[in-house]
Structure 1
Amino acid sequence: MTLSIQFLTMVSMIAGGFYLGITLDTFRRFQRHWKRNVFLVYFMEISFWLTQVFILYFILFQVNLGELRFYVFVACLLGFAAYQALAANLYKRLLERMIMIAARIYQILHNLVKNFIIAPIRYLIQLLIACVIFLFNMVMLVLGFVLKCVYLPIKWLFKQIYRLLPKKFKLFLHKIAGFYSKIQNICRKYWRLISSKRR
């Protein structure tokens, strides 16, 4: 390994340690959102560290084809220590400000979508449902009026015909009606018995 490659490796690993400090503080900042779930805590920790190891080794591979030396770890720790000493407090304040700005932008967009897209659509749907219900009620009202207009003359006509029938035929009709009501009552009893057995 030439001196230039060693120098690039040192610089890259110092930058990698600095990057690791930034990502670790970012990860710890958002950790509070899943801290109560033990399974998620372990999963996120393992995923985070595996991802960081992969990224740092990929950087190392691009510089010196992945050759590990003791000074690589020292350079990485040096970069991490430099971040903690020089930039940790500044980055944490900057991160909080960025989160606050992002939350405010999200709130504004949420209110815009809610007030200018969701609310009008909801209002139109409610208006459409109200129109459908109103039309249905009007149709039922008209149908009821038409049926009454048709039913009353037919009822009056059947009453007149029934008055003209002989008494024997009227008695026969009463017997048929009584027989039909008995059959209907028997069927209802059997249906209730079958329903109670099913339960």
Structure 2
Amino acid sequence: MSLHEQFSTIIAMTVMGVWIGISLTTYHRFVHPKKKWRWMMIITDTLFWAFQGLFVFFVLLKVNEGLIRFYIFIALAIGYCAYKALFQSIYESILEWLTNVVVKTALMIYLTIKMLIVQPVWILLKLLYRSCKILISVLLSAVLFIVSVIVFPFKWAVRLLVPQSFIDRLVRFFYIAIRFFDRFTKKFR
């Protein structure tokens, strides 16, 4: 391995140490804020470190064809320590600021969608429902009026031909159906 490859490897592994520090801080900020679900921590920690190891090896493969030397681990440790000493507090404040910006932006988008799309559609649906209910009641009243006008001349014939008990049962049935319809529509008010 040439001197240029060794120097490139040391620089790349130092940067990877800083990367591991940044990703570890981000990982602990979002995945383990309250340390719940121990079995889930085992899975996520294993996946996190497997990804980090594969990423470091990928960079190492691109820099020096995957040759592993002792100074690579020292460079990783130096990069991680440099991150902890120099950049961690700055990165944590930037991360908190970005998190707050994303959360507030998402909340603003949610409220905007709710106010501009969901609430007007809901109001229109309620208005449509009430309009249909009024239209149905008007049409039903008109049909009942027309039926009563048509049936009135034949009322005396019906009384002579149909027994009163059947008429009482029919009236009771319609009364129960109307009560059921009223109870059903009260749920949607």
Give the TM bin, normalised by the shorter chain. 0.7 to 0.9
Matches within 5 A, 1:19-168: 19-32=19-32, 35-159=35-159
1:128-150 residue CA offsets vs partner (Å, 9 max, x unmatched):
11111111112211122122222
Give, in angstroms, the shift of residue 34 of structure 1. Answer: 6.9
Q: How far, CA to CA, are the matches of 1:33 and 1:81 in structure 2?
A: 23
Q: How far, CA to CA, are the matches of 2:155 and 2:6 in structure 1?
A: 109
Which moved further from structure 2: 143-152 or 70-79? 143-152
Q: Which amino acid aligns with 2:39?
A: F
Contact 1:17 1:80 in 2 (8 A): yes
Q: Which amino acid aligns with 2:127?
A: L
Q: How many residues align?
A: 164
Structure 1 length-normalised TM: 0.75
**Pair 1:132–1:37, CA change in 2 (3 A):** farther
1:24-48 residue CA offsets vs partner (Å, 9 max, x unmatched):
0011111245732233222221121
Where do 5+ consecutive residues of structure 1 fail to align?
163-172, 178-199
Structure 1 runs of 4+ aligned residues shifted over 3 Å read: 32-35
Residue 66 of structure 2 aligns to a residue in which SS? coil
Q: Which amino acid aligns with 1:3?
A: L
**Pair 1:33–1:133, CA change in 2 (3 A):** farther
Contact 1:20 1:52 in 2 (8 A): yes
Where do 5+ consecutive residues of structure 2 fail to align?
166-189
Give, in angstroms, the shift of residue 120 of structure 1. Answer: 1.0
Give, in angstroms, the shift of residue 19 of structure 1. Answer: 0.5
